[in-house]
Amino acid sequence: MLVYADAHTHTNPVRGMGMKIVAEKFRAKNGWFMAIVGLAPWSYGLTPNVEGYTKSFELVLRECDIARQKGLKVACILGVHPADIDKLVYKYGLKLEDALNLVYKVIDIVIDMCKQGRIDGIGEIGRPHYRIDPVFVAAAELVMLRVMEAVKDYECVLHLHLEQGGVITVESIEKLAKLVRLRMDKVIFHHSRPGLLDYVLTRGYNATIPGIEAVLRIVFSKHKPAYMVESDHIDDPHRPGVVVYPWQLIENQIKLLKEGLIDEEYLYKVNVDNVVRTYGIEPP
């Protein structure tokens, strides 16, 4: 029996379905693993200060525990999304330096949680993927470098949220990792679209691709099974199904399997072998 992994997803027990519902729906489709990634504190109705971020982290840890209770293997991932910085400035009125100092304090908490083994990875961190004043890109990159340098000696993976810049994106991350002596096998190029994925896989790095049927169809046709599939589901009732439901990620793969685009061995490598290799967990 084939089993399926969601390599990057979010749940929101305050405003969305939460893990109790998501895990049951995912398990019903033979889901076995989820990498559960935190959302910004305002997504849960919390104030974006150190206390609010800390409360949001504890909430995500509880969601991870619920997933385990429902029979899923889990990687728990916490961080500060690069988009948080400009939102702290433009929506919440902080000066950029104050916003960056807040993020530094919060990310240091996350780094300590990684070192203590309370979480399995840090993310999302990285750079904005949308048009923004370049100073915010620089600020987000400073945060990413702080994390890279701090966890280089710990078994903690990094989910990187980046622009879809093809070879430029990949080479820039290579050089930053080399600068701080971080092993590239700890890096996951999250939400890699086909144009970026080409270069990530050519160089042998970890990637997750969105489980949208159109994307899967392209990647299945073009690439060896050297990546993982994610839903990047934000569990927001105002944006239902964005990016894709975790169980729909499975349905899309089954559809393409039945069409003969790939075989069961291919899907096993994507959904089990690569997850086990990346996170060092026991297979199902």
pLDDT score of 37 = 98
Beta strand ranges found along the chain (DSSP E)? 4-9, 31-37, 73-78, 121-126, 157-161, 187-189, 206-210, 228-230
The answer on pLDDT for 181 being more than 90 is yes
Greatest C-alpha distance within the chain: 54
The answer on pLDDT for 5 being more than 90 is yes
Both tokens assigned to 112:
């300590």
pLDDT score of 283 = 93
Pairing of strands 187-189, 206-210: parallel
Q: What digits encode the pLDDT tens for the residues 71-86? A: 999 999 999 999 999 9
DSSP 164-192: --THHHHHHHHHHHHHHT--GGGEEETT-
3-state secondary structure 224-254: CCCCEEECCCCCCCCCCCCCCCHHHHHHHHH
Taken in order 213, 219, 224, 227, the sign of the CA dihedral is: negative
Q: What digits encode the pLDDT tens for the residues 218-249? A: 999 999 999 999 999 999 999 999 999 999 99
pLDDT score of 224 = 95
Mean pLDDT confidence for 6-23: 98
The model's confidence at residue 146, banded by pLDDT at 50, 70 and 90, is very high
Place of tokens 């470098």: 145
pLDDT score of 245 = 98
pLDDT score of 1 = 86
pTM comes to 0.96
Average pLDDT score, the chain: 96
The answer on pLDDT for 170 being more than 90 is yes
The yes or no reply on domain 4-279 and CATH 3.20.20.140 is yes
Q: What's the CA gap between 189 and 206, in Å, rounded?
A: 6
The answer on pLDDT for 14 being more than 90 is yes
Mean pLDDT confidence for 44-58: 97
The answer on pLDDT for 131 being more than 90 is no
Mean pLDDT confidence for 126-155: 94
Domain ranges within the chain, ordered by starting residue: 4-279
Q: What's the CA gap between 124 and 234, in Å, rounded?
A: 13
